[in-house]
Structure 1
Amino acid sequence: MEFRQAEMKDIPQIMEIIQAAQQYLKQEGIDQWQNNYPNPDSLKEDITNNNSYLIKDRDKIVATAAIIFGDDPTYSYIEGGKWISKGNYGVVHRAAVAETYKGQGIISKIFVQTYQLAAADGITSIRIDTHPNNKAMQRAIEKEGFKYCGIIYTEDDSKRFAYEKLI
């Protein structure tokens, strides 16, 4: 499997993964990603900013994530806890795995690659958040060794459980 930055030509395949994830979340009664986000415009912005990554199995994209290094405004306030570190950090956003590849450790591969990118830039922690009802993602995050830190709020004031891991 190949891990690489996404390109504009990848957007249709990435959107297939995102739309399947949106449908899954809807079926589970989770209102995460139900407001036309992520969408092609947000993917274009991630690609333009060199923040969009994917995992490819031969010619098929099987996972996607935005990996961003630098301050994330939604992480400036945390409720009911505190961040583990105070230094520079990376963030994983908009992570999704193709339906037929779920349960194969693909999300872990995204995290491993994120740690490598972070280490190359001298970054020592990774943060991530997810919907309070997204138990599958919470399990994946905790299995990876992230520690629950508290609650953050997205730009639209949606509540998210926030996690951090020192690397």
Structure 2
Amino acid sequence: MEYNFREASPNEIDQIWAILDKAIERRKAEGSEQWQDGYPNMEVVRNDISKQAGYVLTEKDQIVGYVAVLVNDEPAYDNIEGKWLSTGDFVVIHRVGIAESHLGRGLARQMLEHIARFAAERNIHSIKADTNFDNPAMIRTFENAGYVYCGEVLLRGKSRRAYEKVLHN
């Protein structure tokens, strides 16, 4: 199947939110604390899109995945308990969500590959991300995609696992 990765548009907020809302429910059903504090919410997605940081993975005309992709925009990463692999410009990944109908197809990994191209096109050689300690699926996705565990960062008062992938030319 052919998937397309592109910037999200404001008229897609409802479709994107439906994906994230289901992901929030899945996290809760799995017993995770991640995304159980009112974040993310529709306003966060609206803000991503207004900052041109919201990206979707589509299959034909259907949105099957969402991610926020920012450049040098995560102040919490300045205070890592541990050590990043690199300094300098970096791409940040937040709010990865895959449509319920498309789980188990490796689409989160595919989005990470698109994000690596996004970074390379901008001559940025580092991608940083974080996830909850109780999100084994995302931890596996990062590790299988070559991301390295670098330590812990504090976001919204909670400690999270921090990962980095350094891209080589």
Q: So what's the TM-score if we normalise by structure 2?
A: 0.95
Shift of residue 66 of structure 1? Answer: 0.2
2:72 counterpart letter in structure 1: G
Match of 1:10 in 2: 12
Q: Where in structure 1 do 4 or more consecutive aligned residues deviate above 2 Å?
A: none
Post-superposition shift, 1:11?
A: 0.7
Q: Quick one: which amino acid aligns to residue 95 of structure 2? A: R
Q: State the partner residue of 2:95.
A: 94
Tell me if the contact between 1:71 and 1:88 (Cα under 8 Å) persists in the aligned partners.
no
Tell whether the 8 Å contact from 1:46 to 1:66 is kept in structure 2 after alignment: yes
Count of residues in correspondence between the two structures = 165
**Is 1:166 the equivalent of 2:150?**
no
Unaligned stretches of 5+ residues in structure 1: none
DSSP-derived class of the 2:52 partner: coil
What residue in structure 2 maps to residue 59 of structure 1? 61
- 2:118 maps to 1:117: yes
- Distance in 2 (CA, whole Å) between partners of 1:20 and 1:11 is 14
Matches of 2:103 and 2:143, distance apart in 1: 17
Please name the residue that 1:32 is paired with.
34
Which amino acid in structure 2 is aligned with residue 2 of structure 1?
Answer: N
Is 2:132 the partner of 1:131? Answer: yes
SS in 1 for 2:108: helix
TM superposition shift of 1:82: 0.4
RMSD: 0.9
Match of 1:75 in 2: 77
TM-score normalized by structure 1?
0.96
1:165 counterpart SS class: strand
